[in-house]
């Protein structure tokens, strides 16, 4: 059926809620890439087989990722009228007893992580119920307690392969509101007022970019979602798409309407097969409901969104390289200006935003700019999702208001170093970012503060290093990465990074000299200042920050030889 | 319209604190060249869009007292434009880029002479080991050959292969490429003279491009081989069919003679 | 790849945006590499110069021109795995299988002479909590140590 009126949307919403709370036990298995990697699918299949064979009255669904990677595979069990319980580190062999206990209205106590009595989906509220008095509430678990879930509000709780569940918790109501009762300019104003800044790393005001695209001359234009997450150690966008694909589509639909654009593209890495699969499915479902295609919500507005796959090139995160890649060319950045908003995909004005930027849009429309801008800090509103990885105890995806300190993320949420080791530094911003030492952990995570300490927000990877990590080796790792990902167009990046790597290899092998250190610094400066695009301009950051904050580690390698 | 026909408006610009008149909209690199202000460059060619890859022409663009390093080939002249071409910063970075080029193309005399002109006589970086390089250790990947082949000739016989420090230019699969017309525009435009080809009897061998061999047309009059057949057809296709019939088998020299004779016959006797 | 299969893939991409890379991606997934003949056929069918397609498949790391062996081992080299010793894992694998760490074209893909194993590297497949990790034919092995590698290889027919 096609959804055209608010009554249509309401009826699907009721159906979706019925699926989330079906009046019989519901078991959800975390099956995002991370869950699958540790056995989620095998677990799901085992449960499915048991339920089918015994013809049991249990609803079994795949859910996305709740973010606590360390505890995966995570399984949620919801007994009607009782709190939803999250089980941790569930093995295939646990399937049988989880199912039989669920039928008795119970859960295996040895696997319990926490319970959720009610949940704020922001676009809707779900009350699960009480019970399980001895099990701690979700908010009592330190890993969750310090987080604020806006983007991840549905992750791990709904079935990402079923549009009804997304609509069930209020999905597409913001799009309905925007398309049927808001002027395009009012939507842009709202996004501007919310203070939303680009989540791809640079932090450009999203509403302003929308306005520029809208005003650019020309009938044919594109909106593009950058889902080419290339940072080695960042996987937020993948989980967002795998866990809640419709949130992205809804954001893009609202944006398309506001800018008067009829064609959307999602540029996604070929290395994300599950995200591609779930997005394809989501697109089909949205088309079936008439949420994409012609005459959406009977407003006369047409819009479709399609997928374009990348093929493994970090440099395609650069906007002009990304546009070239969509056109079927090699991703070599071109000179700017003209910017994409003027001359983008196939030479048409193009608005390019990161996955997470688009994902913020539905809640901004649903709850208003005022509500949104009350989250986070001044000039840095909203939340940001980070992948907290490396040598930290609680590995996972975390979402916090912008302006939260690194200390809070790494110690309150991450519980400090793994295996009781001392944390030494954290790397933010991937290969474009830098390493921040412990003594600067009071730094609030916002676009400007991170720049001030020599790193950047980037797309959101936080890699924790401990006392055993050699910082020179980390610098070499990132230069090796950046050099391998350089497109090779301009000489500072192509040759400069190669020679930085050679020098670092020499230093690590104990064959470096004082002159090597000076040359490394000199070269880093030139690569930063003279490279054509952002990749080269930021690639020296890991070297520059480690030389600044961990100079003694470089010196130790030099003096050991001399 | 001005006295100079289609020429744009003349505006005042400042280069290294001196004022000059310049044509509005012109690419600054060309303006500077015309004014004999020296800016090294390797990847710019008038017939092509600015590419901005060699980074040697970077100058300081002054706006509101702040300077930004920008390639001169990407700056368009406008009234009040202020440029510094030889600040210590510019010189420092440029010299280091020369060192990188010296290591990348150790066999290139052009690079060696250019670098020496700016006082860079040696490189502190490990020089590339040149071993069986079809481009003789002289290629600096400015991409002019690829761009001319694709954008001007419309042939697209050669292209970049791999990426980053592994980038090379050659034909697909490093095989002879039947798409190549043998026009040798690539060799013509190459700033470091890295591309080699040879005319042997009735063939042109593009040695740098995996030995791609194209037949040369032989003049029906003097029997000399003159131009690659494919290229000749490409050019002839643009002419009046009647003229094509008359000259298609002639080399440029015999063609000239043929046309001259025809013209003389047509001149009325006075 | 035969012409009919290729036509079937091409048909799925009627729109220009994302077309070329989408088609190449499907060829890579089906054949586990990009065969030379197929690329030449794509050039004819899409009317894209071969040199441009060759530039694409050598530029993007998702594509490979070399066929892979019976078992494909993918070692994760993402930052979280790196800080937990992925490099040692790769070196140990290379040692056991007699493979070199060199690359001619910037892509790491090495196959044993008996064609039993191909080793490649990848950036983060999202099992960071089990770092360092590797895949063999899609099966995940976590908390890998250099000492455990022979045991893993033996599952796939390797002999000590």
* pLDDT, tens digit only, all 160 positions of chain C: 999 999 999 999 999 999 999 999 999 999 999 999 999 999 999 999 999 999 999 999 999 999 999 999 999 999 999 999 999 999 999 999 999 888 888 899 999 999 999 999 988 776 777 889 999 998 888 889 999 999 999 999 999 8
Q: Is residue B36 part of a domain?
A: yes
Structure tokens at C64: 């490979």
* Residue B266 predicted with pLDDT over 70: no
Q: Is residue A9 part of a domain?
A: no
In a mutational test of the A interface, the residue from C42, C121, C123 whose CB has the highest number of chain A CBs within 10 Å is C123
Give the residue-averaged pLDDT of A316-336: 96
pLDDT tens, residue by residue, A95-148: 999 999 999 999 999 999 999 999 999 999 999 999 999 999 999 999 999 999
Which of A353, A371, A389 is the C-terminal boundary of a domain? A371
Report how many domains make up chain B.
2
CA atoms of A495 and A200, how far apart (whole Å): 27
In chain C, residues with a C-beta closer than 8 Å to the C-beta of B158 are 51
Mark yes or no for CB contact B55/A490 under 8 Å.
yes
CA atoms of A96 and A362, how far apart (whole Å): 39
pTM of the model: 0.95
Which residues 6+ apart lie within 8 Å of A508 measured at CB? Answer: A472, A473, A476, A557
* Residue-level pLDDT at C126: 65
* Residue B5 predicted with pLDDT over 60: no
Give the residue-averaged pLDDT of B114-137: 96
In a mutational test of the B interface, the residue from A494, A517, A524 whose CB has the highest number of chain B CBs within 10 Å is A494
Of B163, B172, B173, the CB nearest to C59: B163
* Residue-level pLDDT at B245: 80
In chain C, residues with a C-beta closer than 8 Å to the C-beta of B161 are 54-55, 58, 105
Residues in A 330-369 with any Cβ partner in B closer than 8 A: 330, 332, 335
CA distance A263 to chain B (A): 29
Q: Is residue A144 part of a domain?
A: yes
Which of B86, B109, B143 is the C-terminal boundary of a domain? B86
Strands B10-15 and B18-23, how do they pair? antiparallel
Structure tokens at B233: 């057809």
CA atoms of A465 and A546, how far apart (whole Å): 12
Q: Is residue A3 part of a domain?
A: no
* Residue B176 predicted with pLDDT over 60: yes
Percent over 70 (pLDDT), chain A: 99
* Residue B163 predicted with pLDDT over 60: yes
pLDDT tens, residue by residue, A419-458: 999 999 999 998 999 999 999 999 999 999 999 999 999 8
* Residue-level pLDDT at A559: 67
CATH number at residue A389: 3.10.20.600
Q: How does the average pLDDT of chain A come out, rounded?
A: 96
Q: Which of A304, A335, A311 is nearest to A325 (CA)?
A: A311
Structure tokens at B10: 């003349």
- Residue A115: strand pairing partners: A85, A137
Q: Which of B226, B229, B228 is nearest to B251 (CA)?
A: B226
* Residue A322 predicted with pLDDT over 70: yes
In chain B, residues with a C-beta closer than 8 Å to the C-beta of A495 are 100-101, 103-104, 125, 165
* Whether B111 and B51 share a structural domain: no
CA atoms of C4 and A154, how far apart (whole Å): 43
Of B165, B166, B172, the CB nearest to C50: B172
CA atoms of B186 and B171, how far apart (whole Å): 13
Q: Which of C55, C80, C69 is nearest to C116 (CA)?
A: C69
* Whether B100 and B63 share a structural domain: no
Residue A394 CA: distances (Å) to CA of A398, A408, A418, B104: 10, 13, 8, 46
* Whether A360 and A482 share a structural domain: no
* Residue A23 predicted with pLDDT over 60: yes
Q: Where are the alpha helices (DSSP H) in A244-395?
A: 245-259, 273-288, 319-326, 355-367, 369-373
In chain B, residues with a C-beta closer than 8 Å to the C-beta of A499 are 100, 103, 125-126
In chain A, residues with a C-beta closer than 8 Å to the C-beta of B96 are 522-523, 526
Of A330, A483, A490, the CB nearest to B165: A483
* Residue A512 predicted with pLDDT over 80: yes
Give the residue-averaged pLDDT of A343-352: 97
CA atoms of C57 and A334, how far apart (whole Å): 20
CA distance C50 to chain B (A): 6
Query: End-to-end CA distance of chain A, in Å?
Result: 77
In chain B, residues with a C-beta closer than 8 Å to the C-beta of A522 are 96
CA A230 to chain centre: 12
Which of B86, B110, B139 is the C-terminal boundary of a domain? B86
Give the residue-averaged pLDDT of A13-36: 94
Mark yes or no for CB contact C126/A33 under 8 Å.
yes
* Residue-level pLDDT at C103: 84
Reported as a pLDDT band with limits 50, 70 and 90, residue B2 is: very low
Q: How does the average pLDDT of chain B come out, rounded?
A: 92
State yes or no: cis peptide before B10, omega within 30 of 0. Answer: no
CA distance C38 to chain B (A): 13
- Residue A461: strand pairing partners: A387
Structure tokens at A505: 């290899």
* Residue-level pLDDT at A209: 98
Domain that holds residue A113: 22-150
CA distance C54 to chain B (A): 6
In chain A, residues with a C-beta closer than 8 Å to the C-beta of B160 are 330, 332, 488
In chain B, residues with a C-beta closer than 8 Å to the C-beta of A539 are none
* Residue-level pLDDT at A11: 98
Interface partners of B (3+ CB pairs, < 8 Å)? A, C
In chain C, residues with a C-beta closer than 8 Å to the C-beta of A239 are 126
Q: Which of C79, C76, C86, C57 is nearest to C146 (CA)?
A: C86
Q: Which of A461, A330, A338, A473 is nearest to A398 (CA)?
A: A461
* Residue-level pLDDT at B243: 79
CA distance B182 to chain A (A): 25
Residue B236 CA: distances (Å) to CA of B34, B152, B229, B242, B250: 36, 17, 10, 11, 12
| More reliable by pLDDT, C106 or A26 | A26
In chain A, residues with a C-beta closer than 8 Å to the C-beta of C22 are 308-309
* Residue-level pLDDT at B7: 66
* Whether A92 and A29 share a structural domain: yes
Mark yes or no for CB contact A530/B69 under 8 Å.
yes
Which of B28, B60, B86 is the C-terminal boundary of a domain? B86
CA distance B79 to chain A (A): 19
Q: In terms of residues, how long is chain A?
A: 562
CA atoms of A426 and A466, how far apart (whole Å): 9
* Residue-level pLDDT at A527: 98
* Residue-level pLDDT at B233: 83
* Whether B63 and B122 share a structural domain: no
- Cβ atoms of A33 and A235 within 8 Å: the answer is yes
CA C68 to chain centre: 8
* Residue-level pLDDT at B6: 55
Q: Is residue A15 part of a domain?
A: no
- CA atoms lying within 13 Å on the CB side of residue B221: 14
Of A222, A232, A329, the CB nearest to C79: A232
* Whether A187 and A144 share a structural domain: no
* Whether A498 and A513 share a structural domain: yes
* Residue-level pLDDT at C101: 83
Q: Is residue A162 part of a domain?
A: no
Q: Is residue A14 part of a domain?
A: no
Q: Which of A232, A426, A231 is nearest to C79 (CA)?
A: A232
Residue C21 CA: distances (Å) to CA of A223, A312, C61, C63: 19, 11, 12, 10
Mark yes or no for CB contact A494/B126 under 8 Å.
no
CATH number at residue B31: 3.10.20.740
Which of A446, A466, A486 is the C-terminal boundary of a domain? A466
- Cβ atoms of A268 and A307 within 8 Å: the answer is yes
Burial classification of residue A503, based on how many CB atoms lie within 10 Å of its CB (0-12 exposed, 13-18 middle, 19 or more buried): buried
Mark yes or no for CB contact B163/A491 under 8 Å.
no
Q: Is residue A11 part of a domain?
A: no
- Cβ atoms of C27 and C9 within 8 Å: the answer is yes
* Whether B65 and B119 share a structural domain: no
Structure tokens at A382: 């909203």
Structure tokens at A409: 């993320």
Report how many domains make up chain A.
4
Domain that holds residue B124: 89-129
Give me the residue spans of the domains in chain C. Answer: 3-59, 71-155
**Dihedral (C-alpha) A435, A441, A442, A446: value to the nearest 10 degrees?**
40
* Residue-level pLDDT at A80: 97
* Residue-level pLDDT at B270: 47
CATH class of C71-155: alpha beta
- For residue B169, the chain A residue with the least C-alpha distance is A488
Give the residue-averaged pLDDT of B51-75: 96
Any B CB within 8 A of C155 CB? no
In a mutational test of the A interface, the residue from B56, B88, B100 whose CB has the highest number of chain A CBs within 10 Å is B100
* Whether A236 and A328 share a structural domain: yes
* Whether B105 and B43 share a structural domain: no
Question: What is the SS3 assignment for A456?
Answer: coil
Give the residue-averaged pLDDT of B156-181: 97
* Whether A139 and A269 share a structural domain: no
CA distance A476 to chain B (A): 16
Q: Is residue B108 part of a domain?
A: yes
Any B CB within 8 A of A486 CB? yes
- CA atoms lying within 13 Å on the CB side of residue A50: 20
- Cβ atoms of A190 and A206 within 8 Å: the answer is no
Q: Is residue A163 part of a domain?
A: no
* Whether A500 and A450 share a structural domain: no
Nearest-5° Cα angle at A291, A288 to A297: 120
- E strands, chain B, where? 10-15, 18-23, 58-63, 66-71, 82-84, 159-161, 168-170, 198-200, 203-206, 212-218, 225-228
């Amino acid at each position: 059926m096609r959804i055209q009126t608010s009554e249509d949307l309401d009826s699907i919403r009721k159906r979706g809620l019925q699926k989330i709370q079906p009046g019989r036990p519901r078991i959800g298995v975390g099956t995002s890439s991370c869950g699958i990697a540790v056995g989620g699918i095998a677990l799901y299949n085992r449960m499915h087989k048991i339920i089918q064979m015994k013809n049991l009255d249990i609803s079994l669904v795949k859910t996305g990722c709740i973010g606590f990677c360390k505890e995966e595979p995570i399984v949620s069990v919801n007994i009607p009228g009782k709190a939803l319980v999250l089980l941790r580190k569930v093995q295939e062999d646990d399937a049988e007893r989880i199912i039989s206990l669920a039928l008795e209205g119970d859960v295996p106590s040895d696997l319990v992580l926490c319970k959720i009595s009610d949940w704020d989906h922001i676009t809707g509220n779900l009350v699960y119920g009480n019970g399980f008095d001895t099990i701690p509430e979700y908010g009592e678990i330190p890993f969750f307690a310090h987080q604020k879930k806006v983007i991840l509000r549905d992750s791990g709780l709904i079935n990402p392969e079923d549009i009804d569940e997304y609509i069930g918790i209020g999905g597409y109501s913001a799009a309905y509101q925007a398309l049927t009762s808001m002027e395009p300019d009012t939507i842009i104003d709202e996004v501007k007022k919310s203070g939303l800044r680009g989540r791809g790393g640079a932090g450009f005001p999203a509403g302003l970019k929308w306005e520029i695209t809208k005003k650019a001359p020309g009938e044919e234009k594109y909106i593009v979602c950058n889902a080419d997450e290339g940072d080695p150690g960042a996987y937020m966008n993948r989980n967002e798409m795998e866990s809640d694909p419709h949130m992205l589509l809804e954001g893009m639909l609202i944006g398309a309407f506001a800018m008067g654009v009829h064609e959307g593209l999602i540029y996604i890495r070929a290395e994300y097969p599950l995200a591609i699969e779930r997005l394809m499915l989501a697109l089909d479902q949205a088309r079936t409901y008439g949420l994409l295609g012609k005459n959406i919500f009977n407003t006369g507005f047409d819009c479709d969104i399609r997928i374009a796959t990348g093929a493994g090139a970090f440099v395609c995160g650069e906007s002009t390289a990304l546009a070239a890649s969509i056109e079927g060319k090699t991703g070599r950045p071109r000179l700017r200006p003209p910017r994409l908003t003027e001359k983008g995909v196939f030479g048409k004005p193009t608005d390019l935003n990161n996955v997470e930027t688009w994902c913020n849009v539905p809640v901004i429309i649903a709850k208003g700019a005022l509500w949104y801008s009350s989250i986070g800090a001044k000039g840095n509103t909203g939340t940001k999702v980070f992948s907290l990885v490396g040598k930290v105890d609680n590995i996972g995806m975390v979402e916090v208001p912008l302006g939260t300190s690194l200390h809070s993320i790494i110690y309150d949420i991450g519980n400090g170093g793994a295996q009781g080791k001392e944390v030494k530094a954290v790397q933010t911003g991937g290969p474009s970012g830098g390493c921040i030492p412990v003594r600067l952990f009071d730094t609030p995570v916002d676009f400007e503060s991170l720049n001030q300490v020599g790193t950047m927000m980037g797309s959101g990877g936080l890699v924790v290093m401990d006392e055993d990590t050699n910082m020179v080796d980390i610098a070499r790792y990132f230069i090796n990465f950046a050099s391998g990902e350089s497109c090779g167009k301009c000489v500072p990046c192509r040759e400069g990074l190669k020679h930085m790597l050679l020098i670092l290899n020499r230093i690590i092998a104990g064959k470096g000299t004082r002159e090597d250190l000076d040359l490394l610094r000199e070269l880093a400066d030139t690569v930063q200042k003279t490279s054509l695009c952002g990749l080269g301009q930021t690639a020296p950051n890991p070297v520059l920050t480690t030389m600044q904050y961990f100079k003694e580690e470089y010196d130790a390698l030099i003096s050991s030889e001399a | 319209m001005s006295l100079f026909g289609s020429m744009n408006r003349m505006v005042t610009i400042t280069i290294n604190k001196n004022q000059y008149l310049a044509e509005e909209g012109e690419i600054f690199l060309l303006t500077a060249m015309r004014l004999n202000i020296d800016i090294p460059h390797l990847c710019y060619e008038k017939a092509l869009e600015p590419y901005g890859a060699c980074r040697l022409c970077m100058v300081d663009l002054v706006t509101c007292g702040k300077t930004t390093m920008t390639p001169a080939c990407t700056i368009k002249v406008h009234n009040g434009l202020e440029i510094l071409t030889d600040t210590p910063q510019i010189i420092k970075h440029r010299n280091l880029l020369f060192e990188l080029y010296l290591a990348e193309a150790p066999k290139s005399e052009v690079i060696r002479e250019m670098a020496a002109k700016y006082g860079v006589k040696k490189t502190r970086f490990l020089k590339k080991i040149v071993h069986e390089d079809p481009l003789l250790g002289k290629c600096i990947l400015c991409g002019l050959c690829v761009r001319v082949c694709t954008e001007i000739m419309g042939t697209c016989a050669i292209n970049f292969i791999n990426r980053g420090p592994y980038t090379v230019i050659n034909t697909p699969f490093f095989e002879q490429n039947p798409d190549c017309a043998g026009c040798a525009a690539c060799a013509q435009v190459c700033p470091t003279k890295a591309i080699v080809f040879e005319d042997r009897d009735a063939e042109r061998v593009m040695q740098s491009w995996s030995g791609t061999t194209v037949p040369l047309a032989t003049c029906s009059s003097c029997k000399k081989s003159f131009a690659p057949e494919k290229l000749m057809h490409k050019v002839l296709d643009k002419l009046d069919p009647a003229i094509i019939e008359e000259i298609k088998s002639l080399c440029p020299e015999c063609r000239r003679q043929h046309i001259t004779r025809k013209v003389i016959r047509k001149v009325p006797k006075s | 790849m035969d012409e009919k299969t290729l036509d079937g893939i091409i048909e799925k991409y009627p729109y220009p945006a994302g077309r070329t890379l989408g088609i190449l991606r499907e060829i890579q997934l089906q054949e586990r590499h990009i065969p030379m003949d197929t690329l030449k056929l794509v050039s004819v069918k899409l009317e894209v110069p071969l040199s441009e397609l060759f530039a694409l498949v050598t530029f993007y790391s998702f594509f490979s021109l070399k066929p892979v062996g019976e078992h494909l081992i993918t070692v994760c080299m993402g930052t979280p795995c790196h800080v937990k010793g992925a490099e040692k894992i790769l070196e140990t694998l290379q040692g056991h299988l007699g493979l070199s760490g060199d690359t001619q074209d910037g892509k790491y893909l090495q196959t044993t002479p008996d064609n039993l194993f191909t080793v490649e590297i990848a950036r983060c497949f999202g099992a960071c909590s089990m770092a360092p990790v590797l895949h063999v034919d899609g099966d995940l092995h976590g908390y890998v140590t250099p000492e455990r590698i022979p045991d893993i290889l033996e599952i796939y027919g390797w002999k000590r």
